Chain A
């Protein structure tokens, strides 16, 4: 089955800890994206990557970091510098820039 997987579905962390969210795709897509969604809010772009070993900051990159060492994988680290990390995190991919994006099932992160 082709698609995007994110793990875990739910994640709980204590304040001050870094946490890494996994995103893997087997669609052979070049571009990958990370968004966060807060209750009642739209999706906000955190980071995106158009090719391996390259990525750009989105609108709300502060407190986050990413890597793109393999085409299939685009992990997101939520650092302790992120002031409000509790949110629904969504990973997406697209075949090329500007094309429709396909989403993974998301990770709900709760930091207390």
Chain B
């Protein structure tokens, strides 16, 4: 099983739609979870951390299910500017201090 697995997409949605991405991870000892956003040919940027109780930041909601070892990201009222690749990130790769990045899920929002 890959360490962090994501559906590569692309997810094609119209503006205003709600879209959800899931990600599974293999290391049950992982303690830190994040979603990053990466625009084409740019560096990844932190979107949000994922807490056990779930967390929301505006139109974005992240959930963690430790028992099933998956993380989700929900985007409501999609904007054209949300088009990007979303990376699921989990700690506990090479060492506790390192993060393991999924390959990302591409989102394309159309007018």
Contacts and interface: CB of A to CB of B under 8 A. Distances in A.
A89 B101 CA distance: 15
Nearest to B104: A42
Interface residues of A, number: 28
B34 A103 contact: no
Interface string A80-112: 000000001010001011111111111000000
Contacts of A17: none
A42 B91 contact: no
SS of B interface (majority): loop
A90 B97 contact: no
B43 A56 contact: no
B28 interface: no
B94 A42 contact: no
Interface in A46-97: 48, 50, 56-59, 88, 90, 94, 96-97
Interface of A: 31, 33, 35, 40-43, 45, 48, 50, 56-59, 88, 90, 94, 96-106
Interface of B: 4, 31-32, 34, 41-46, 49, 87, 91, 93-99, 101-104
